[in-house]
Amino acid sequence: MAVPGDPPDGTPEGIGGGDEEFRSDEYRSVVFDEDFVRAARLQEFSAQERMGEHARAVRSRSIWSGGGPGKPGTSTPGRSARQGMLLVLLIATAFAVAVYMGLSNPTMPVDAGRTDPLTSTIVPLAPAAAVPGGRPVDLYASSPAADYRVGAAGISLPAARRTHHFTEGQVVTALSIAKDYLVQSSLDPDVLAGAATRPVRVLLDPDQLAQFDRSMTSPAGDGRHAATGWLVRFDPGTATVADTRVRVSGTLAFEEISADVLEVTTDHTFVYAVRPATGSPAAADGASLFTIRRELRMRFDAEDLTTRRAELVSAYVMAGPQACSTEPAEGFRPVLAGAGPTTVGPAASDPYASGTPRRTAGLCGVLAPPTPAGTAPVSPAP
């Protein structure tokens, strides 16, 4: 008897039998009724659903977009947006605090790389007796400057050695720049006559040029803008140099004041033979001596040493004979040969004395009587 599902002519020879026949008999009792078949549904899964829990191959680079809910390693759009907004808020808050501190805190430290302006003190020294006159050679011979060297030869460099942060070569460079500054600002004939300023200007730190230019065009005795703080020049309407062989003596010293700054201190006495601006240059006894003591402090960083320029920090200058009523900010006005003493200051000062120059309490001092030639000068008591 044929069973439903069997071929009409029976099972072909050589096919089935054995285990296959056993399995066929096993499932013959399973019958799907018509209601079950009609209730069955075929469902085609989408590509996203077929991927299951597999991670996305491409991630969004925007902080505002995120993966779908429940996917590992991703966040929801709402959470990413909140994180981005929080980050922006933190940056804006930090910027606002920085601006507020910059505007409201005047005691914040100044940038270490900033160049300070020059501070200068110019002290005229009034004569205590009539100013002697004569020929420059005779005046020098009978003065304390008799043994001084002439011109740049009087500005000798000390033995150089390396410091903790500066090499010996850098120290030598700083000292040579300081010497160049002294030569150009104290000995150049055009600078002394008030006809030139560029030889000095090119040796200054660029940050000081505006102050220097104002000092040359609008000099003032305010401690910042005296032309005579930067250089030596004579009032062209008062006096002119009678002998270009200026006598010079003094010292240079150096010190490392920080890891980035080397300081050079110069202390020199310059003795000029001057004569009246309107007098005859051939007058044998028309000259007199004018003495200037200059103590300068210069600073150098690595860039200054490379470009051969200096930052002039301070200048303390004593000059005479001058009247106490003279304002030497624009140029020196010597009391010339034959003129008597003028109103004098509170204390005598000797510009020839070695050691630290004596600071006068007022704006004028007394030019101490010169020490005879060949006698070692003694520093005045403080």
User: What are the tens digits of pLDDT across the range 306-337?
Assistant: 999 999 999 999 999 999 888 789 999 999 99
- Residue range 53-78: mean pLDDT, rounded: 53
Q: Nearest Cα to 230, choosing from 70, 350, 119?
A: 119
- In this prediction, what percent of the chain has a pLDDT beyond 90? 53
Report the alpha-carbon distance of residue 3 to residue 361 in Å, rounded: 138
User: What are the tens digits of pLDDT across the range 112-155?
Assistant: 457 889 999 999 999 988 999 999 999 999 999 999 999 999 99
Q: 106 burial class (0-12, 13-18, 19+ CB within 10 angstroms)?
A: exposed
Sign of CA dihedral 313, 316, 319, 324: positive
pLDDT of residue 46: 67
- Render the burial of 130-149: b for 16+ CB within 10 Å, e for the rest: ebbbbbbeebbeebbbeebe
Query: Among the listed ranges 32-36, 124-128, 233-237, 330-334, which one has the minimum average pLDDT value?
Result: 32-36
Is the pLDDT score of 8 beyond 60? no
User: What are the tens digits of pLDDT across the range 267-311?
Assistant: 999 999 999 998 655 555 789 999 999 999 999 999 999 999 999
pLDDT of residue 324: 87
Mode of pairing for the β-strands spanning 365-367 and 119-127: parallel
Is the pLDDT score of 56 beyond 60? no
pLDDT of residue 381: 32
Q: How confident is the model at residue 179 (pLDDT cuts 50, 70, 90)?
A: very high
Q: How confident is the model at residue 247 (pLDDT cuts 50, 70, 90)?
A: very high
pLDDT of residue 164: 96
CA angle 348, 350, 351 (to 5 degrees): 135
Report the alpha-carbon distance of residue 237 to residue 221 in Å, rounded: 19
Alpha carbon 68 to its chain centroid, in Å, reads 57
The mean pLDDT of the chain is 80
Is the pLDDT score of 361 beyond 50? no
Q: How confident is the model at residue 52 (pLDDT cuts 50, 70, 90)?
A: low
CB atoms within 10 A of CB 224: 14
- In this prediction, what percent of the chain has a pLDDT beyond 70? 65
Predicted TM-score (pTM) of the model is 0.67
CB atoms within 10 A of CB 70: 8
pLDDT of residue 125: 93
Helices (H) and strands (E) in the chain, counts: 11, 8
Is the pLDDT score of 380 beyond 50? no
Q: How confident is the model at residue 6 (pLDDT cuts 50, 70, 90)?
A: low
